[in-house]
């Protein structure tokens, strides 16, 4: 079969290069890695927001639109009668050439038509609350070109949720300002600024313009769409001033380009906040107001500063160089050199990049997450930070404190908090009994990476209640105890609303289609529903807690915890083993889930991964048997499915899991997030070949059929359709998934085997026999380790791991397996 190709990796520039704009789905990238963010597709679709995709949405985007991916930051070029966009959309005029380069927090889109080339570089400078668009337009022809350029972006009325529903108010509230200086032109969005908002947005260009528009209907025309704005077709802006309806920002520039001439323009799309007391500015005489009404309400000093700071290409280029230097630095913390370029590409660039993005976004904003549904997940963020902590440990530290501050005094958790307020909320449910253990997972990973034990002494409140603070270490203890305080009839952890598998809702019993399984009633009273996934998690992360206690000299606490862990292991061996694999759960009435006795859902991946990682039942070879069963039953060409066979009917006692059609999502989909649990367990069992085989099946660098895979070929997706699905191998829910962090752990710490511990770096590779040599350069704390692994005899693992005690400075180590 001929595989359509839409692009390729450019490792030297750390970019993915898209050469055909008609990708099987919009292939997106993320701008910004601090507070100001943008999502940008390969045709310049997407939107910007500040900190919180729900409460501070800056530009408007319509999800699930027709056609797909409508709205973004568009440039229209009118050359005679032809109108085109450098990113092909929205006009879709056939281009002579097109290229989109998605790099690390930047995207460069270049289009060429009839001898004119336009290239736009989008990025967010470090420490700046704005997206810069550096536009370069060149006349490649031998004739003079008279061109008309229109920029376009549509404002969102801040709260993205109400923006999409409260039209009776929204269509009357919109307000803008227009400002022309000798050196720049800025269009401001100030809806609700005169009342409770202290923030505004602006879209500026570093020169005077020949016109503008701020009202969508005037610019586009009521019966037109983005592909044919009437103002552009007419080559004449309307100079409109928005009063309510839908405010936009569009600059109009006329330019004459001689043969070979290039013009550079800098657009700044920014956001600023003012203190209450100096929100407003009087008219200072300097402003040439182009509108008719009161145009000098916002105190614009901060916007002016940013616009003027980025007025020259030199300033923009130097900010871009800073971003690139930051990525040099971040990526340099872990680099592998091997003969396998796909492995290098995953480890050295894309997996690390995705870890940054998931750390920043949690599950809030992607082309599958609307930005209004979910903020920062308790469990999700703890996992994300483990993939990110080596990059910027101080930010991981803050994240741990923020997350722990939302916890309840009994160790239970809100399932999410909003990044803007940092307060927990129940919007996406609560009572997931795995949640507390993830805090131990995140916090111990942080301390192993940094050696910073002081975080454990930080005073952290319960549920953000001032005065309720206890140490973080105490939060960890209570997290551990939350599991032992909530065990069921078999001594196994009660599941609560669900565990890692949000859809294993064993206590919901929902018959009302208007209810969400995630938030509806949770009948835990009298429930016998127990989770083997939490059991494995508890043993694995519980041992991390024990190790931490020992390192801190808390021998008694370590012993107490060990006794509980041992009891849990026994409970699993006794009540959680099904003969060939670990059970998945017991339901409300105490019936088995994930057993050979079940007709559907005989075996689940989560308990195999976790209990095998925790080596429960080692003496009986339970881990090895469970791994073999997992591979036999769950594996497929595209990775391992979550459960098999998938459910084909709705099970009231199981909830959302059984609602998905067979082969999708939590019902038999390939959840890329839990494949690495099995991969890691394989390495712990010493099976390098098997681990590698499973790793390669889901790692994006090995995906060759881009049409089938559909979503971005440079990042992991949450789910790939499983073997029972209509289209096995089709990817969905790309970008925001714990898959990034877990595969990072799997490949760097367990396969390549360089693992930070409290006292040193543990070198414990478990690799495919045919990997003959590789070198890892690992910057760790104040040291740099250059570790070469030689494997001349085709082994999968060394007899013994090597512990290299921590000491500052540069170290070179060679190990022959």
Tell me how far apart the alpha carbons of residues 787 and 777 are, in angstroms, rounded to a whole number: 6
606 sits near ligand BGC (criterion: CB under 6 A): no
- Which residue(s) pair with 487 in the sheet? 493
Tell me how far apart the alpha carbons of residues 290 and 450 are, in angstroms, rounded to a whole number: 55
Taking the complex as a whole, how short is the minimal distance between the CB of residue 542 and ligand BGC, in angstroms?
24
Which one of ligand BGC, ligand NOJ, none interacts with residue 428, CB within 5 to 8 A by kind? ligand BGC
Which one of ligand BGC, ligand NOJ, none interacts with residue 15, CB within 5 to 8 A by kind? none
383 sits near ligand BGC (criterion: CB under 6 A): no
Identify the H or E element spanning 306: helix 301-309
Is the Cα dihedral 26, 29, 31, 37 positive or negative? Answer: positive
Tell me how far apart the alpha carbons of residues 523 and 519 are, in angstroms, rounded to a whole number: 12
Nearer to ligand NOJ, 239 or 733 (CB): 733
- With CB under 6 A as the contact rule, the residue among 212, 446, 500, 545 that binds ligand NOJ is 500
- Residue 169 has which token pair? 């108010």
- Which residue(s) pair with 77 in the sheet? 84, 149
**In degrees to the nearest 10, what's the CA dihedral of 538, 540, 541, 544?**
140
Which one of ligand BGC, ligand NOJ, none interacts with residue 380, CB within 5 to 8 A by kind? ligand NOJ
Taking the complex as a whole, how short is the minimal distance between the CB of residue 389 and ligand BGC, in angstroms?
23
Which one of ligand BGC, ligand NOJ, none interacts with residue 123, CB within 5 to 8 A by kind? none
Nearer to ligand NOJ, 363 or 687 (CB): 363
502 sits near ligand BGC (criterion: CB under 6 A): yes
Q: Decide: helix, strand or coil at residue 713.
A: coil
Which residue is listed with tokens 């066979």? 645
Tell me how far apart the alpha carbons of residues 377 and 358 are, in angstroms, rounded to a whole number: 11
DSSP 466: T
Taking the complex as a whole, how short is the minimal distance between the CB of residue 672 and ligand NOJ, in angstroms?
11
Taking the complex as a whole, how short is the minimal distance between the CB of residue 662 and ligand BGC, in angstroms?
14
- With CB under 6 A as the contact rule, the residue among 175, 215, 434, 666 that binds ligand BGC is 666
Tell me how far apart the alpha carbons of residues 501 and 374 are, in angstroms, rounded to a whole number: 16
Q: Which residue is nearest to ligand NOJ (CB)?
A: 502
- With CB under 6 A as the contact rule, the residue among 15, 48, 502, 587 that binds ligand NOJ is 502
- With CB under 6 A as the contact rule, the residue among 250, 366, 518, 748 that binds ligand BGC is 518
363 sits near ligand NOJ (criterion: CB under 6 A): yes
The catalytic residue among 163, 499, 502, 764 is 502
Q: DSSP per residue over 428-478, as a string?
A: EEE-BTTHHHHHHHHHHHHHHHH--GGGGG-EE-STT-TT--EEHHHHHHH
162: number of Cβ within 10 Å: 15
- With CB under 6 A as the contact rule, the residue among 428, 478, 533, 721 that binds ligand BGC is 428
Nearer to ligand BGC, 5 or 516 (CB): 516
β-strand 414-417 against 585-586: which pairing, if any? unpaired
Listed residue (745, 744, 754, 814) closest to 780, CA to CA = 754
Residue 268: phi and psi, rounded to 5, are -125, 120
Residue 590 makes CB contacts below 8 A (sequence gap 6+) with 489, 528
Tell me how far apart the alpha carbons of residues 440 and 95 are, in angstroms, rounded to a whole number: 53
Nearer to ligand NOJ, 115 or 373 (CB): 373
Taking the complex as a whole, how short is the minimal distance between the CB of residue 367 and ligand NOJ, in angstroms?
16
Nearer to ligand BGC, 153 or 737 (CB): 737
- How far is the first Cα of the chain from the last one, in angstroms, to the nearest whole number? 41
Residue 811: phi and psi, rounded to 5, are -130, 140
Taking the complex as a whole, how short is the minimal distance between the CB of residue 591 and ligand NOJ, in angstroms?
21
Taking the complex as a whole, how short is the minimal distance between the CB of residue 460 and ligand NOJ, in angstroms?
22
Number of residues that bind ligand NOJ (CB under 6 A): 9
578 sits near ligand BGC (criterion: CB under 6 A): no
Q: Decide: helix, strand or coil at residue 372.
A: coil
Taking the complex as a whole, how short is the minimal distance between the CB of residue 380 and ligand NOJ, in angstroms?
5
Does residue 502 have an active-site annotation? yes
Tell me how far apart the alpha carbons of residues 813 and 724 are, in angstroms, rounded to a whole number: 47
- With CB under 6 A as the contact rule, the residue among 215, 666, 712, 730 that binds ligand NOJ is 666
Which one of ligand BGC, ligand NOJ, none interacts with residue 345, CB within 5 to 8 A by kind? none
Site for ligand NOJ in 367-396 (CB under 6 A): 377, 379-380
Preceding peptide of 645 cis, ω within 30° = yes
Residues classed as catalytic: 502
Give the binding site for ligand NOJ (CB under 6 A): 363, 377, 379-380, 500-503, 666
Residues at the site binding ligand BGC, with contacts judged by CB under 6 A: 428, 502-503, 518, 656, 665-666
């Amino acid at each position: 079969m001929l595989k359509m190709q839409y692009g390729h990796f450019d490792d030297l520039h750390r970019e993915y290069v898209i050469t055909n704009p008609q990708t099987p789905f919009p292939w997106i990238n993320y701008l910004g890695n601090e507070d100001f963010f943008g999502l940008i597709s390969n045709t310049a679709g997407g939107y910007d927001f500040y900190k919180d995709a729900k409460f501070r949405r800056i530009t408007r985007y319509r999800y699930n639109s027709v056609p797909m991916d409508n709205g973004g930051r568009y440039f229209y070029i009118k050359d005679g009668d032809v109108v085109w966009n450098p990113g092909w959309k929205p006009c879709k005029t056939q281009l002579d050439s097109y290229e989109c380069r998605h790099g690390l927090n930047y995207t460069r889109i270049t289009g060429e038509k009839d001898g004119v080339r336009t290239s736009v570089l989008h990025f967010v400078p470090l420490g700046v609350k704005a997206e810069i668009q550096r536009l370069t337009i060149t006349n490649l022809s031998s004739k003079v070109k008279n061109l008309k350029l229109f920029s376009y972006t549509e404002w969102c009325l801040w709260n993205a949720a109400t923006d999409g529903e409260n039209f009776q108010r929204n269509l009357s509230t919109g307000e803008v300002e227009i400002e022309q200086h000798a050196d720049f032109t800025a269009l401001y969005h100030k809806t609700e600024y005169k009342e409770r908002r202290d923030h505004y947005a602006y879209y500026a260009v570093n020169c005077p313009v020949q016109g503008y528009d701020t009202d969508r209907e005037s610019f586009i025309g009521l019966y037109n769409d983005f592909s044919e704005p009437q103002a552009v077709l007419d080559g004449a802006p309307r100079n409109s001033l928005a009063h309510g309806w839908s405010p936009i920002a569009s600059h109009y520039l006329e330019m004459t380009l001689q043969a070979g001439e290039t013009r550079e323009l800098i657009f700044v799309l920014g956001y600023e906040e003012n203190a209450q007391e100096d929100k407003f500015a009087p008219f200072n005489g300097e402003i040439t107001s182009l509108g008719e009404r009161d145009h000098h309400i916002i105190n614009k000093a901060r916007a002016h500063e940013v616009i003027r700071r980025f007025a020259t290409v030199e300033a923009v280029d130097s900010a871009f160089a800073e971003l690139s230097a930051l990525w040099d630095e971040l990526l340099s913390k872990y680099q592998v050199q091997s003969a396998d370029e796909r492995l290098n590409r995953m480890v050295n660039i894309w997996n690390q990049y995705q870890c940054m993005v998931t750390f920043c976004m949690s599950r809030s904003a992607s082309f599958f997450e609307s930005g209004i549904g979910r903020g920062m997940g308790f469990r999700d963020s703890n996992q994300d930070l483990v993939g990110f902590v080596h990059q910027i440990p101080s930010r991981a530290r803050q994240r741990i404190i923020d997350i722990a501050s939302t916890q309840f005094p009994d160790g239970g958790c809100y399932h999410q908090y909003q990044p803007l307020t940092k307060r927990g909320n129940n919007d996406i449910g609560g009572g997931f009994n795995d949640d507390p253990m993830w805090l131990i997972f995140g916090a111990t990973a942080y301390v192993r990476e940094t050696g910073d034990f002081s975080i454990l002494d930080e005073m952290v409140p319960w549920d953000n209640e001032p005065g309720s603070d206890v140490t973080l270490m105490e939060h960890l203890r209570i997290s551990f105890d939350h599991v032992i305080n909530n065990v069921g009839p078999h001594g196994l952890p009660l599941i609560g609303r669900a565990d890692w598998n949000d859809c294993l809702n064993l206590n919901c019993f929902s018959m009302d289609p208007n209810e969400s399984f995630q938030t509806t009633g949770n009948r835990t009273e009298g429930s016998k529903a127990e989770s083997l996934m939490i059991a494995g998690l508890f043993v694995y992360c519980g041992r991390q807690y024990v190790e931490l206690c020992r390192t801190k000299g808390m021998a008694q606490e370590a012993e107490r915890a060990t006794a509980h862990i041992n009891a849990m292991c026994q409970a699993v061996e006794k009540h959680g083993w099904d003969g060939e694999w670990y059970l998945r759960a017991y339901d409300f009435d105490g019936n088995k889930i994930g057993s050979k006795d079940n007709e559907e859902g005989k075996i689940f991946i989560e308990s195999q991964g976790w209990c095998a990682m925790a080596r429960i039942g080692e003496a009986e070879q339970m881990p090895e048997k469970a791994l073999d069963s997992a591979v036999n039953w769950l594996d497929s060409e595209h990775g391992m499915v979550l459960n098999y066979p998938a459910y084909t009917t709705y099970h009231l006692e199981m909830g959302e899991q059984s609602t998905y059609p067979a082969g999708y999502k939590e019902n038999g989909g390939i959840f890329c997030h839990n494949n690495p649990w099995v991969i890691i367990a394989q390495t712990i069992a010493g099976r390098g070949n098997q681990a590698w085989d499973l790793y390669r099946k889901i790692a994006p660098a090995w995906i060759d059929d881009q049409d089938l895979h559909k979503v971005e070929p440079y990042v992991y997706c949450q789910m790939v359709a499983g073997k029972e699905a209509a289209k096995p191998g089709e990817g969905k829910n790309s970008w925001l998934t714990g898959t990034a962090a877990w595969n990072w752990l799997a490949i760097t710490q367990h396969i390549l085997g360089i693992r930070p511990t409290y006292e040193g770096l543990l070198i414990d590779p478990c690799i495919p026999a045919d990997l003959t040599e590789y070198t890892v350069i690992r910057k760790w704390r104040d040291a740099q380790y250059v570790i070469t692994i030689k494997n001349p005899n085709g082994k999968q693992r060394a007899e013994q791991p090597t512990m290299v005690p921590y000491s500052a400075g540069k170290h070179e180590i060679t190990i022959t397996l």
